Structure 1
Amino acid sequence: MKIGIIGIGTVGGGVLELLKKEKKNIEKRVGEKIEVSWICDLKESVNKDSSYRFTKDYEDILKDESVETIIELIGGNTVAFSIAKETLKNGKNLITANKYLLATKGKEIFGLAKENGVKIFFEAALSLAQSNGYAELDPTFDVKGIDTAHKISLLSYLVWDELVDFEKIKIEGIDKITKEQVEVAKSLGKRFKLIGEAIKIENEIEIYVQPSLLDKEDQLYGVKDAYNGIESYGEHLGETFFYGKGAGALPTANAIISDLYKIKNSNAWNESVN
């Protein structure tokens, strides 16, 4: 499998590191050789290995018919959106860690994947450095709840195969929580957490993001730093809780590598897009 990686920041570097250190194991699991044909970045300083070609223009990679899969790691939903569309239109598979892109432009992207009979996977979460050059990571995304909304939007899609228009998600951040409120909560043994919630009632999916006051007994109470927690309830499964690191170079890179396995061992995109 020949791949091209667009965006060699923290995560892109982690992907290259894993592909180099664990090459034999990865190829054994995937079932074929993995070759990084191209890397693309705005900084020439990332070009440290002569075994693959370097470019500042992602079009060079998309024009290479031998490249089967593109890994997009630049963030944002402008340039990244153009890359995603052109990748799929050129009949190439797409792996992205860009939840912002999929939450806001997912319907068109999934539709193009289906239309062109190619595959798209997005297991990773993504933490981008501003030094990537393509897009600035807006620090208000965290405090205003936008980042949480991206995550719960995609989780909702994975559960119900339906992508809710991002504009319809009700979002309230923690930026209006005062220091006094935090101190009062602390005195009561409670803690404010920014929670995203998706509920399906009959045929309607409703998604909310808002600060919630949690007790110490709540499993989400202790989730902090680069970790994520997910509580779910299924009619037949009951309650489940998932916890793990959701950012950082190697954890995210590991998730991207797992998507290479899925690219090789799955059918082309064929799910319905609402």
Structure 2
Amino acid sequence: MKDSGRKKENFPESSKDPKDPEMVEIKAIREKLCDMHSDIKKVMEFSNRLRFETAMECSRQEYSNAILSHLYEDINSGLERNMVKKCPEKENCRSSFTALLQRNAGLVKQGRVDEALLSGNREKLDELRCGAPYSKCEQCFSEVSSLFTKQVNLMRSMRIYASNQEQKPDISALETSGLLREVLEPVSNPQRLEILRAVAFETKSFSAFSEITGLRGGNLLFHLQKLMDSGLILQQHERGDYMITEKGFKILKGLNELYSSLQSSQLQISAEKTPGENEEIRV
């Protein structure tokens, strides 16, 4: 019989040299897999954010359309119920009131209502009031003013409008140095803004940016690094594609909304000008 108490001999386990080509290759594969996992995670987060933004925009449009339909009904029923019944100018006035109130109600479809647009509508209402031919017109204007105020209060409750007076505390608390450093300076360059726009919905490579901006080598790298240092874009991995960050997407979206709002204001002002104001004066 074998001696059960005999101790087993312990042989040292053989360990491979970390510099062994096989171990180096395995390590490289592991690092590559980690990079791929990180890339997939970033792409999934980016795709989910885009889907969320799209869904939110669709929901906002449906919500605003429903509210707009309600406001139109409120305009029609309010004017029908409370305007002076027997008046030779009733239909003309009702047409003007309806156009003004519907134009004002249409502002609910904007992400942010411009104070200038509301002020313009108020001034138009005041002009109509000043031109009222009868004392009994005040009854009609009282109803129109009430409907107008209800619309403005609704915009406030939707948090898409705040008067300049209401916004003053926020503006006074604005940190100008941080705004310049983190927002304005990174996008103040046309090439950097073009880069940011290019990656809004898809990743881009270094060579793709070179074609878009016309920049090469170090010049392009300088602008990419500026955007990365500001947290507006990131590179998936070394020598990998570039993608926009949540901060970069918010800034780009905000700039787009701001520019659209300014364009809308300009169109509104141009539309309200009389033909004589748009004609060139010749001597």
The two structures have a TM-score, normalised by structure 2, of 0.22
| Structure with the largest fraction of strand | 1
Larger RCO: 1 or 2 (CA < 8 Å, sep 6+): 1
Name the structure where helix makes up a greater proportion of residues: 2
Whichever of the two has the greater Rg, that structure is 2
